[in-house]
Amino acid sequence: MITTAEAVASLRPGVEWSMSGDDVAGITWHTPDVQPLTQAEVAKEIKRLEKALDAEQATKDAARVSAVAKLSALGLDALEVQAIIGSI
């Protein structure tokens, strides 16, 4: 799960800030002239980051399935495959 702080850091990289609570109203910007964020912007970024994490996990899962299939095609049994890559 992506936190509000992670979304703020993603939206304002390199900017110094602190946050009290878990809401954009509690953000104090320590870098001058920073455009404040809205709760809607942060919520949208959280969804975007979570979608990216899900896609990354799906890619890893597909690669694992492909690796198992290729090792099996080489004649390795399930125990041998598991010894190489961990749990199947």
Reduced to 3 states (helix: H, G, I; strand: E, B; else coil), residue 28 is strand
Query: So what's the pLDDT on residue 87?
Result: 74
Counting beta carbons within 10 angstroms of the beta carbon of residue 5, is it exposed (0 to 12), middle (13 to 18) or buried (19 or more)? middle
pLDDT in tens, 20-37: 998 899 999 999 999 999
Residues lower than pLDDT 70 in the chain: 88
* Domain total in the chain: 1
pLDDT attached to residue 88 = 67
28 φ/ψ angles, rounded to the nearest 5 degrees: -115, 120
Q: Which domain holds residue 28?
A: 4-85
**What pLDDT does 68 receive?**
92
Taking residue 81's Cβ as centre, other Cβ atoms within 10 Å add up to 18
What pLDDT, on a 0 to 100 scale, did the predictor assign at position 85? Answer: 86
Contacts of 8 (CB under 8 A, 6+ apart): 17, 19, 24, 27, 37, 42
